[in-house]
A and B are shown apart, each in its own frame.
Chain A
Amino acid sequence: MALLEVKDLKMYYRTLRGHVRAVDSVSFEIERGKALGIAGESGCGKSSMASALLRLLPSNGAYHGGSVIMDGQDLLKMPEERFRKEIRWNRISMVFQGAMNALNPVHRVGEQIVEAILSHENVSRKEAVERARELLQLVGINPQRFSEYPHEFSGGMKQRSIIAMALACHPDLIIADEPTTALDVMVQAQILKAMGELRERLGLSMMLITHDLSVIAQTCDSVAIMYAGKIAEYGSVMDVYTNPAHPYSHGLLGSFPNIQAERSEVRSLPGFPPNLLAPPSGCRFHPRCPLADEMCMEVEPEVRRVDDSGRVVACHKAELVLEGKKLWEPMGASAARDTGKKTILEVSDLVKHFPVRMGLLKSLSAKEQPALRAVDGVSFDVYKGEILGVVGESGCGKTTLARSILRLIDPTSGKAIFEGTDILDKDALQMKTLRRKMQVIFQDPYESMNPRMDVQTIVSEPLRIQGLFKTTHAAREVVAKVLSDVEMIPPEEYMGRYPHELSGGQRQRVAVARALTLDPDFIVADEPVSMLDVSIRGEVLNLMLNLSRSQGVTFVYITHDLATARHICDRIAVMYLGKIVELGTAEEVIGSPRHPYTSALIGAVFVPDPRHRGFTQLLRGEIPSPVNPPSGCRLHPRCPYATAICKEVEPELTLYEGTHQSACHRTEQIQDQLRQIG
């Protein structure tokens, strides 16, 4: 018998404009000891469902029917006080999204665990403290840090302590809502690994809510893919991932770049989820579905079985999907190409230190002003027409590097020769002229546009700033051209819109269009897709690729995501703590990494394929503070291969075969070792 059975659950939000049907007739069950993944784009109702199960609706939320059965009882009908005492945390606990805020900043971490125990179990305080210490130990935190405050913990440790808290009362089910989203890949891998082990050891059931299909592929037994408050497809991970029956699952799965798969086949799923105030008639997916016909528009599809597996799907056309009908245009594969190696930008020994603020007295007494060494001596070339990926975890200095080479901030020292002249020598006026040739695309499409300007004003703003705005008519033509270049057709339809009237993907296209307005040769794209829903990342990446091919624009693509970098970049540079540790073509770096850090990064990337489970956890701990980086090789405290020399001597980037450079003393030995194992 299932541990928890959700039947026909409906949950609405009351708003000024009407009811938002956040969860609409959702049914699924969770087996004892198994893990169910709930996947979907943002706004599909998956987080609402998580709080609905624990009866933690916000004040404007209300149940509109359905039941949640656990041990034969309907949890939704249970009296509040009993539910609080018996179910919350005792039977079902939760790991919330955003570890930063789930801990109360004014209470000690340990106390927050003790509190949970004491409110449910009749144990002495001493016993509760003892158990809390054990729990911290269990999730890999030194129990001596019991009485520290949340702000003294790193992000990963906070998330671990929240997991410890979730385990406090031996629950049967843990609901994890995006447990690792805000964390870096390597920390994410560590946490998920720890969670998986604990689950197995304690025989827990888990409901994992995430937008990241690869996390579910790696950790769950079954999966429910939600779209617009409804379940589109629900079945075992193996069935759904290997042979999706719903066009949405198919598209979503296809839009995940797979670092292990061939360099191609990243698709995008155009459009965006509907407004749940007035969802589309019939099948809610029909406006985005390539198979939609009149029936899809009018008749809501039943949830039904389509094959002999246990999977159910809500689609009229599931058979067509299963037959393998071509649904989406594949994104143009980026085969390695020869870009001619004509250097457009030559960065040498670039350094950017940020002074660390401290008291007046201290700064007088200190011998040396401490500094945050964001970029600490970086050299590389960018070739004309290529896409160079700069990859690293947060805090590695990649964004500072991007801003430095655009001179949005002034580097401490070093050179950046752009087409023969040093950018860092230019005065304000020369820089202004130079900016016509170099542009930037930023991470957050919601932030990168002034909300008070319409698309035409935004896109033509560089012309105005540069004094190239001759007539409104001429500017309009430029805007129309660049909007067409970014496939916003017809451009006239978009010119008068304001940013909030655009979807995330459209906004990012406008950002690209704006960067193209001055017809630059060189564009730095700083995490251009990380804020977008996975289904539409392909659009923007594809666009960059096309621009690079058709117009010869050079891109520096800054990202934390190795998988996308691999798919669009010609070359990749890997950064760690302000240094480039490895540099080479995408094939060289991803296919045969030479630096342990690169290997670790690749190992930590989850593959959206349940057939390839498991990941290597190569490095210990988390990235240290760049204020006081380790001596010698900066990776040595975390590196399993480190020897005495790594502690003392800083390794230089060394050229190996082809164009492959790496900065590691022990490259040769590691390669030998790996060859022996593999």
Chain B
Amino acid sequence: MGFRSYLVKRIWYALLVLVVILTFNFVLFRVMPGDPEKMIIDPNFTVEAKQELRRQYGLDEPILKQYTNYMTSLLKFDMGLSFNTRRPVWSELKERLPNTLILFLATFVSTAAVGISLGVFSAANRGRFNEKFVVGAGLFAHAVPGFFIQLLLLLLLGYYWPILPIHGTMSAPPPDGGFAVLLDRLWHLILPAGSNMILGFGSWALYTRNTMLEALSQDYVTTARAKGLPKGDIMYHHALRSVLPPIVTLVFMSLPGAVSGAVITESIFSWHGVGRYLLDATLQMDYPAAQGAFYLIALSVIISNLLADIAYGLVDPRIRVGAGGPK
């Protein structure tokens, strides 16, 4: 199996997942107990407005037609109007998406960098205090309730020693000047992204360490040692290189979890993002908004899974150059 057919297969698969999730979404909000109109049409509207909306949503049409309408409209990012703001959901989400992406990227890059390097570091220092410390800290960070640690950091750094902002994506009013805005944004980013990093690095470090140790016990590493290669070569060229595929997979596999966690992080730090939008919409029974936000999040997860598969294919020669497959 060549890389191309591998890729095609993964894309097919991603589309399948997308259809399943969309269908699930459709079923959930329409076939749920109760009047489907209640989910879509604000009960406070006038009769005429309701009538108009019903027509607009095609609720008077057969279910199959509704389904196809729904699918096409979502593919066009037409998600209806929010009950609360009466604005199109998509334009509200568009405002928030960059914020979520910024937070997400910052978290992701810092977590991966810190986690993987600590993992390699501890594998290289097998048996020493350094390793035990990293493993202990990793295990702890992995097991503690994330939102609690975030709340704690918020209490400490936002209230007891108020050195960091306690909420929001930027100061209000924003400072003048491009550079100042950037600094202000970064300043607001420290707490949410930093706390995510502290919480997230553990599983990365542990996983990297474990796969590294596994690799270091492989025959080809013994061969490399017997060949008299310098330690660094063995460590990086042989061990690390050969565990890259699983680590890359983990990197991307962790994306759904990161997106899930974004809801909590965003609500703790009052981050103006998609996750918090989802939560608020849900709590306020603003169904079009909740549905739209969920669709966007699911879409991002599917895309990141697809990226994971592609990255895996690129780093593993067994896939890149024919024959075999993952696992």
Contact = CB atoms under 8 A, between A and B. Distances in A.
B5 interface: yes
B127 A152 contact: no
A88 B227 contact: yes
A101 interface: yes
A151 interface: yes
A115 interface: yes
A102 interface: yes
A104 B238 contact: yes
B94 interface: no
Given A106-B241, A107-B241, A152-B321, A56 B219 contact: no
Nearest to A147: B321
Nearest to A101: B219
B323 interface: yes
Contacts of B318: 105, 149, 151
A162 to B, nearest CB: 8
A89 interface: yes
B229 A119 contact: yes
A87 interface: yes
Interface string A86-100: 011110011011100
Contacts of A358: 1
B320 to A, nearest CB: 9
Interface string A145-166: 0001101100000000010010
A362 to B, nearest CB: 8
Contacts of B226: 54, 56, 88-89, 93-94, 96
B87 interface: no
A96 B321 contact: no
Nearest to B317: A149
Contacts of A94: 223, 226
**Residue in A90, A105, A358 with the greatest tally of chain B CB atoms within 10 Å:** A105
Interface string B90-133: 00000000000000000000000000000000000011000000
A98 B222 CA distance: 12
A157 to B, nearest CB: 14
Nearest to A113: B227
Contacts of A106: 241-242, 244-245, 315-317
A259 B224 CA distance: 39
B126 A102 contact: no
A85 interface: yes
Interface string A336-361: 00000000000000000000001101
A89 B227 contact: yes
Contacts of B317: 105-106, 149, 151
A573 interface: no
Main SS of the interface on chain B? helix
B61 interface: no
Contacts of B323: 151-152
Given A105-B317, A151-B323, A359-B1, A115 B227 contact: yes
A147 to B, nearest CB: 10
A103 interface: yes
Interface string B225-241: 11111100100011001
Contacts of B5: 359, 362
A54 B221 CA distance: 14
Contacts of B220: 101-105
Interface in B310-326: 315-318, 321-324
Contacts of B238: 104, 107
A466 to B, nearest CB: 38
Interface in A49-74: 51, 54, 56, 59
A59 B127 contact: yes
B9 interface: yes
A476 interface: no
B227 A151 contact: no
A240 B323 CA distance: 47
Contact of A120 (B9, B219, B228, B244): B228
A85 B228 contact: yes
B218 interface: yes
A85 to B, nearest CB: 6
Contacts, number: 94
A84 interface: yes
Contacts of A115: 224, 227, 229, 233, 237
A119 B228 contact: yes
A136 interface: no
Contact of B223 (A90, A102, A149): A102
A165 B244 CA distance: 24
B228 A84 contact: yes
Contacts of A362: 5
Nearest to B215: A104
A38 interface: no
A116 interface: yes
**Residue in A56, A89, A102, A362 with the greatest tally of chain B CB atoms within 10 Å:** A102
A96 B223 contact: yes
A56 B223 CA distance: 10
Contacts of B230: 84, 119
A162 B226 CA distance: 12
Contacts of A93: 226-227
A119 B237 CA distance: 13
A115 B236 CA distance: 13
A101 B214 CA distance: 13
B126 A359 contact: no
Given A106-B242, A152-B322, A87 B228 contact: yes
Interface in B5-50: 5, 8-9
Interface in B190-233: 218-230, 233
Contact of B324 (A54, A104, A151): A151
Nearest to A148: B321
Contacts of A148: 321
Given A59-B126, A96-B219, A359-B9, A104 B224 contact: yes
Contacts of A107: 237-238, 241
Nearest to B321: A149
A105 B222 CA distance: 14
Nearest to B1: A359
Interface string A116-140: 1001100000000000000000000
A641 B216 CA distance: 48
Given A98-B219, A119-B233, A152-B322, A105 B228 contact: no
Nearest to B12: A360
Contacts of B221: 104
B225 A116 contact: no
Nearest to A119: B229
Contacts of A90: 228
Contacts of B242: 104-106
Contacts of A104: 220-221, 223-224, 238, 241-242
B324 to A, nearest CB: 6
A93 B221 CA distance: 14
A96 B220 CA distance: 9
A379 B222 CA distance: 48
A88 B228 contact: yes
B243 to A, nearest CB: 9
A101 B228 contact: no
Contacts of A149: 317-318, 321
Interface in A573-625: none
A101 B218 contact: yes
A54 B229 CA distance: 13
Contacts of B229: 115-116, 119
A441 to B, nearest CB: 31
B132 to A, nearest CB: 15
A617 B1 CA distance: 35
13 contacts: A59-B126, A88-B226, A89-B228, A94-B223, A101-B219, A102-B223, A103-B220, A104-B223, A104-B238, A105-B220, A149-B321, A359-B9, A362-B5
Which 4 A-B residue pairs are closest in the complex by CB-CB distance? A88-B228, A101-B219, A104-B220, A116-B227
Given A104-B224, A106-B316, 9 more contacts: A84-B230, A93-B226, A94-B226, A104-B220, A105-B242, A115-B233, A119-B228, A165-B227, A362-B5
